[in-house]
Amino acid sequence: MKISTKGRYGLRIMTDIAIHGKDCCVSLKDIAEREQLSEKYLEQIINLLSKSGLVRSVRGAKGGYHLTRSAQEITVEDILNATEGSLAPVACAADSDCCEYYCDCVTSFIWTEIYKSVIDVVSKITLKDLVEKSSTVDKSIELECKK
Amino acid sequence: MKISTKGRYGLRIMTDIAIHGKDCCVSLKDIAEREQLSEKYLEQIINLLSKSGLVRSVRGAKGGYHLTRSAQEITVEDILNATEGSLAPVACAADSDCCEYYCDCVTSFIWTEIYKSVIDVVSKITLKDLVEKSSTVDKSIELECKK
DNA sequence: GTGATATACTACCAACGCAGTAGGATTTCT
DNA sequence: AGAAATCCTACTGCGTTGGTAGTATATCAC
């Protein structure tokens, strides 16, 4: 039940773009520098965000990435879905059709309940919330638990 | 954010013992046979349950495992904690002291909220609930989504 | 049109966790 | 003594995680 660096860095990338990309593109180089993360690794992660349509890329000099929607229209669920994949603890929790025994399974309701409660949390937090929280804490964007 | 077979099989093992171990020990061989799972693999998992004090082992012929508490005193949280480890999506969610930046981290509250909501679900479901559900479904204990 | 700056794409790698498998040692009942 | 059970250590194939590296391609500024 762990969130990997893809999900965590994904949130930082998106928050960084939301803060620094008001009316322009933000380059990966700048993000990597500010966040102190490997540019090459971020490339893979932002690719996931791009494929999910959360950011759009602009190639060439002065290029970079920008959000495709406003920060309050992007939820933590969107970002984690793009970077982590489904947040369902087991596949049947998100799609009961995937398992023919769903109705007769003793534990399926547990996974469904967990999934619903996780979605309930992350679908209500928007990127705007993270941007606002970021402005209230000191150098917040660089700080993250490495464990 | 996935639950592994350790957690899933752990729940099946415990449910099986609760059902078939009314006033005796249940051997791993019997569990493995009923659940159609590898006895050797279950050995590792029941070891985790044993170390956490949820079951007690009896060695030698006619030995096996039995619960240390009644089914309604054992929660799904207990079982998943024993087999999966902490259900916290990141370490700081269960122990904010583990990260010196917890208070200044933009995302820490997300992980804490997820963790709390997951615990809220699994701490309220007891082994007794699973046993009761098992009696209402057909051959339920053998059925599980493999995906 | 030529650099400089950016993303895009492909490939590779070490380390780790998952899901088992294997085999022998030990304990206990009959 | 032998059968039945747990206990313990080790190994293994495979996929994921967390990157690194190099090249191709697109675009801007001059």
Give the separation between CA A133 and CA B16, rounded to whole angstroms: 47
Does B66 score more than 90 pLDDT?
yes
What is the pLDDT confidence band of residue B103, given thresholds at 50, 70 and 90? Answer: confident
Contacts (Cβ under 8 Å, ≥6 apart) of B65:
B17, B21, B25, B26, B27, B28, B46, B50, B55, B56, B57, B58
Nearest CA in chain A to B137: A104
**Å between CA of A68 and C1' of D9:** 55
Does B56 score more than 80 pLDDT?
yes
Q: How far is A25 from chain B (nearest CA, A)?
A: 22
The pLDDT, as a whole number, for residue B141 is: 47
Give the separation between CA A16 and CA A86, rounded to whole angstroms: 23
In tens, the pLDDT along A92-127 reads 999 888 888 888 899 999 999 999 999 999 999 999
Does B146 score more than 60 pLDDT?
no
Task: Tell me what percent of the residues of chain B surpass a pLDDT of 90.
Answer: 82
The pLDDT, as a whole number, for residue A39 is: 97
Query: Can you say whether the dihedral through the CA atoms of A78, A79, A81, A87 is positive or negative?
Result: negative
Contact, B96 CB vs strand C, < 7 Å = no
Please, what CATH class does the domain formed by A5-86+126-142 belong to? mainly alpha
Does B49 score more than 90 pLDDT?
yes
In tens, the pLDDT along A76-97 reads 999 999 999 999 999 999 988 8
The token pair at A102 is: 């769903």
Contacts (Cβ under 8 Å, ≥6 apart) of B84:
A1, B3, B4, B6, B7, B10
The pLDDT, as a whole number, for residue B23 is: 83
Strand D positions closer than 7 A to protein CB: 2-8, 10, 16-22, 25-29
Does B138 score more than 70 pLDDT?
no
The pLDDT, as a whole number, for residue B137 is: 78
Give the residue, A140 or A64, on which the prediction is more confident: A64
Q: What b-and-e string marks burial along B81-103, b requiring 16 or more CB atoms within 10 Å of the CB?
A: bbbbeebbbbbbbeebeebebbe
Contact status, residue B35 vs residue B140, Cβ threshold 8 Å = no
What is the pLDDT confidence band of residue B26, given thresholds at 50, 70 and 90? Answer: very high
**Å between CA of A64 and C1' of D28:** 13
Does B126 score more than 70 pLDDT?
yes
Domain definitions of chain A by residue range: 5-86+126-142
Name the helix (H) or strand (E) containing A21: none
Lowest mean pLDDT of A137-141, B53-57, B69-73, B104-108, name the range. A137-141
- Of B80, B107, B23, B94, which is closest to residue A10 (Cα–Cα)? B107
The pLDDT, as a whole number, for residue A50 is: 98
Give the separation between CA A95 and CA B71, rounded to whole angstroms: 30
Contact, A28 CB vs strand C, < 7 Å = yes
In tens, the pLDDT along A30-60 reads 999 999 999 999 999 999 999 999 999 999 9
Size of interface A-B (CB pairs under 8 A): 143
What is the pLDDT confidence band of residue B102, given thresholds at 50, 70 and 90? Answer: confident
Across A18-23, average pLDDT:
92
Give the residue, B146 or B40, on which the prediction is more confident: B40
Q: Where are the alpha helices (DSSP H) in chain A?
A: 5-20, 28-35, 39-51, 76-84, 91-94, 108-122, 127-136
Q: What b-and-e string marks burial along B21-39, b requiring 16 or more CB atoms within 10 Å of the CB?
A: beeebbbbebbbeebebee
**Å between CA of A77 and C1' of C5:** 33
The answer as to CATH 1.10.10.10 being correct for domain B5-86+126-136 is: yes
Mean pLDDT of chain A: 92
What is the pLDDT confidence band of residue B97, given thresholds at 50, 70 and 90? Answer: confident
Name the helix (H) or strand (E) containing A147: none
What's A60's DSSP letter?
S
Does B140 score more than 80 pLDDT?
no
